[in-house]
Structure 1
Amino acid sequence: MPSQRSGLDAPQAEQPHHKRNRRTTDGTTPPQTTRRTGPDQDRHHPRQHPPPPQRQQVAGWVHDTVSRRTDAEFELIDLRDHPLPHLDEPLGAMHGHYQHAHTRAWATRIASFDGFVMVTAEYNRSTSGVLKNALDHLYAEWQNKAAGFVSYGVAGGARAAEQLRLICGALHTAAMSQQVTLSLTTEFEHYTTLKPAAHSATALDTLLDQIVAWSTALAPLRDASRAAV
């Protein structure tokens, strides 16, 4: 099988990715935030908050699992390392004319992958704004690739995963039927320490199998799209 690359997106989503064919994990980490300390201050001072322990543990669990596979190459993408502003491109992503350096850098990163494992928490029945913003910045770079979801929350993050399915449909990204839902009440000790059940580990293996298979199957469409540019 050809070498494949996938990505893990953290802290909303953790995504393992593999190389040509490459997959990504969209984890979602909140971007750097700013605040004013006084009315006469003319500068914002960034402050970095440590990520929630659940995010790091879920992303780490997924990454440890994918690192044992030999059918694809995976990388971890932490959105804290790609601090995108609120969508600020003058044209919609579907036009592909990215004006800002941060968007072009993000596009280059995502274009190099063939599939994604998105790790996400659930916030108010949806995924995080940070992950949604990262998805909305691009269009063609997501197309004809496979995506799977590992979610966590009180209800396992299932509603966040459903939101991501709708988004992936609009981006022409194939969403896998298998998903992993980790409940804070049953798979985290004291709501903070991840203790994944055996059925969750099995579900993750199945999800990864699907992502590798679909990313491989979609390769001719990706190649045709690149040739048409």
Structure 2
Amino acid sequence: MKFFKVPEPTIMRLSLYSRILEQLEERGVPIISSVELGDAVGINSGVVRKDLSMFGEFGVRGVGYNVRELRDNIRKLLGQDRNWPVIIVGAGHLGSSLAAYPGFRQRGFDVVALVDTDPEKIGSTIIDKTVVSWEEAERLVKAQGIRMAILAVPADAVQAVAQQLTDLGIEAILNFSPIILKGPSKAQVQNVDLTVYFDLMRFTQNLNDNGLRPQASHTRGIAVR
């Protein structure tokens, strides 16, 4: 396998390809072309071929891609063929909602526990996850080799908590807190701010309300489980 820097948009599209291919596999579809896969994602077929060619030779010219084979290869590329233990830091409304999200387990992420500093929450159970202290979290990280964490703490605590996580050995942080996290140098950080997408929709609606026609995007939304 080739090792090189892969653009983030390519990795995000691989995730979309994976979900589409899973749906096709469930429906018993054996073959899909780059045009059909591109249409499903809302991109040009040339982008699909370029993305996949970065990782090897897939498919047969004039025939298409074997759905199951391509799905399995992308799953391996994304590490979806094994489970990844994760902790959620923050057992408030947001953290509790994230713990209840079934998509994490479906995509191979196993939420081991929630972490909080509130004595009244520590020891309680949210869904089927136990809320633990930082001391217990440190033990879990070491015992289970946890390398990923989800942040759902108040904005004023984000930076300090991120540093605590990297000190425990966490290498990747998904930040749902309402602030852009500048992650510690040793950690990969992804900031998730849903209000950005609401602003995108609001911007388009605002143009419509003012009699302007927004330019059509080169991509479109796609319904996925």
TM-score, structure 2 length as denominator? 0.31
Q: Which has the higher contact order (CA 8 A, sep 6+)?
A: 1
TM-score, structure 1 length as denominator? 0.30
The structure where strand makes up a greater share of residues is 1
- Structure possessing the higher radius of gyration over alpha carbons: 2
The structure where helix makes up a greater share of residues is 2
